Amino acid sequence: MTPRKKILIVGGGSSGWMAAAYLDAVLNRDGRKLADISLIESPDVPRIGVGEATIPSINHILAAIGIDEIEFLRRVDGTYKQAIKYVNWLHGRGESYYHAFGRYRETPIDTTSLDWLMSDRSMPFSETISAQPAICEALLAPKMFGKWDMGTRLPYAYHMNALKFADYLCEISTSRGVQHLLDHVVDIEMAESGDIAAVQTKSGERIEADLFIDCTGFAALLIEKKLGVEWVDCSQWLLCNRAITIQVPYEQSYPGYVRPNTLATAVSAGWIWEIPLQNRRAWGYVHSSEFVSEDDAEKELRNFVGPIGDAFPTRAVPFKVGYRAKSWVRNCVAIGLSAGFIEPLESTGLYLSDLAAVMMTEHFPYGDDMAPLAYRFNRILANRFHEILDFINMHYCLTRRTDTPFWREVQRPERVNERLKAKLDFWRSKPPTPADFEDQFFPGQADTPLPSGGLSGDHRTPVDTSGVFSLSSHEAILFGMDFLRAECDQWFGTERPASQVAKGIRSKLKVAAQKLPPHDAWLKRVAGMPDYPTTAQR
């Protein structure tokens, strides 16, 4: 029989409990038990909970753990998320566009993007490839009350209370045998081999493990404080480093609807999210402290929210954008903030923890030699991190806003990373197509190795395999930001036909108007959302 590996997760929160629940679900199932999993977290460290948006990949981890969707929505105050709506990102004059999750295909050869580029752009690009922008504008749920009979299902993710999600995963994990320890880690004991041997707790307990997972957030108690793995700063390309948040319960102010999408509105020194849950709306101003003071950021956020937020406190959440030179070193794996962070513009915070947990099961050390597994794990995580970094960087560098110092700064060439520059330059010679993500290395791209941190491993320049954001996602942002406007005038002339919506999308929208209920109505009937009286129309 294969000896069980002892896994100790240090730190809880969403990242720690996602790792515990997923590892247990995959490794210990169908009567087998490959790992003894324990999680230790401090009972006194405050948790950050500001609401959380996700991407559709979250559905995989929920299914793997065996979580019922409706029970999940009830337990985490969850709502559906079909898209992100971006407002004021191009010129700052009220313009908007959607990044929706779905794409309609009418024929095997999809010419929708080229058709739009050859049109007069009188209709937003996202509305020509998906029904979901219009469904979001109509505030409709992605689900019917009864059995689905509308053809291809609408893809979606969720908005949720991240603290309640962690608590729910804790409940599931411990009921299945994961050991939960509430104690302070005060010391980390090293073996002669250079591996971590054990942690010492404040209560005097010594806990050994074969594999340690560092979920201690930016503190990075194991991966950085003990193993000395350096943090690679990425703030040169993403300037925002703080968020000011505010939450308004529906008991005090319910607008009469629940948006089925996240809202991201560009303001003077960053952007403001709006995330609706079943019991509240949450806003957060993600900004750069170099361009706006904390007091002024709070004033700007409160002005955006309006009088409904006057009675509620704000909370400051500092963060840093970057990644660990290696996430897996010897017998320690960093997951969550200890491994890296990118501002939440595309809701990738939980995704990176989700990915790390999935990769841990695919690279689980059944034997004693972890080095080859760490080698591949680190490469995959590095590629995926830099894909997200490029994608978020792209939102900023394509702006044409010149109204504030922040927006002028993010357009400067030195604020665009080398990989993204090469992509954009190539796409100015031809629009993006699927082949661009096959073996991505473009003309003019520097073959710059990743920082090694003095550690062995794969340090090749990262590549974007479209593992997180598809071609459609890139097109949504590029064309939403009016990319290739001048080039299309040169290629196709300035007198071009009106933009068209595919017949299939028009049919879908006609049926949706008849069969899809308002998002809040679905949540009230199926997920148990309370029926709040409408008190504000904003």
Q: Across residues 66-95, what is the average pLDDT?
A: 97
Nearest to 193 by CA among 368, 43, 58, 326: 368
Q: What is the pLDDT of residues 338-347, one digit of tens each?
A: 999 999 999 9
Residue 241 pLDDT > 90: yes
Q: Say which amino acid occupies 489.
A: D
Instruction: Please name the residue that has the structure tokens 């361009």.
Output: 291
Q: In degrees rounded to 5, what are phi and psi of residue 121?
A: 60, 30
Contacts (Cβ under 8 Å, ≥6 apart) of 405: 291
User: Residue 121 to residues 87, 134, 399: CA-CA distances in angstroms?
Assistant: 18, 17, 18
pLDDT at 203 over 70: yes
Q: Extract the runs of DSSP E, i.e. beta strands, from 71-194.
A: 79-81, 83-87, 96-100, 157-160, 179-182, 185-190
Percent of the chain with pLDDT over 70: 97
Two structure tokens written together for 276: 């609706």
Tell me which of 464 and 238 has the higher pLDDT: 238
* Distance from C-alpha of 329 to C-alpha of 373, rounded to nearest angstrom: 10
Mean pLDDT score of the chain, rounded to an integer?
Answer: 95
Domain range summary for the chain, segments of one domain joined by +: 5-77+160-233+322-383
| pLDDT of res. 48 | 63
Task: Using the CB atoms, write b or e for 414-434: b if 16+ within 10 Å.
Answer: eebbebbbbbbebbeeebbee
Residue 44 is predicted with a pLDDT of 80
Say whether pLDDT at 49 is over 60: no
Q: What pLDDT does residue 406 have?
A: 98
Tokens 């990102």 locate to 89
Question: Please, which residues have CB within 8 angstroms of residue 209's CB and are 6 or more apart in sequence?
Answer: 6, 7, 8, 38, 196, 198, 331
Tokens found for residue 429: 């010679």
Check whether 3 has a pLDDT greater than 80.
Answer: no
What DSSP string describes 342-379? --GGG--HHHHHHHHHHHHHHT--SSS--HHHHHHHHH
Phi-psi region of 194 (alpha: psi -120 to 50; beta: other; left: phi over 0): left
Calpha distance 222→225 (Å, rounded): 6
Q: What's the rounded mean pLDDT across residues 470-479? A: 96
Measured in whole angstroms, the distance separating CA 384 from the mean position of its chain's CA atoms is 12
Tens-digit pLDDT profile for residues 381-397:
999 999 999 999 999 99
What is residue 536's predicted lDDT score, i.e. its pLDDT?
62
Which band of pLDDT confidence, cut at 50, 70 and 90, is reported for residue 439? confident
CB 205 within 8 A of CB 217: no
Contacts of 128 (CB under 8 A, 6+ apart): 112, 115, 116, 499, 500, 501, 502, 505
C-alpha span between 315 and 163 (Å, rounded) = 16
Measured distance CA(356)–CA(16) in Å, rounded: 11
CA neighbor of 345 nearest in space, from 413, 415, 419, 265:
265
Mean pLDDT of the 457-484 span: 94
Contact yes or no for 161/89 (Cβ under 8 A): no
Angle of helix 13-27 versus helix 162-175 axis, rounded to 10: 30
Q: For residue 6, indicate whether it is catalytic.
A: no
Q: What are phi and psi of 525, to 5 degrees?
A: -75, -40
409 pLDDT above the threshold of 90: yes
Name residues whose C-beta falls within 8 Å of residue 258's C-beta, 6 or more positions apart in sequence: 79, 139, 276, 278, 519, 520, 523, 529
pTM of the model: 0.96
* Catalytic site residue from 5, 6, 33, 81: 81
Per-residue pLDDT, 537: 55
Fold designation for 5-77+160-233+322-383: FAD/NAD(P)-binding domain (3.50.50)
| Residue closest to 226 by CA, chosen among 210, 214, 208 | 214
Average pLDDT score over residue span 277-290: 97
Q: Is residue 47 very low, low, confident or very high in pLDDT (cuts 50, 70, 90)?
A: low
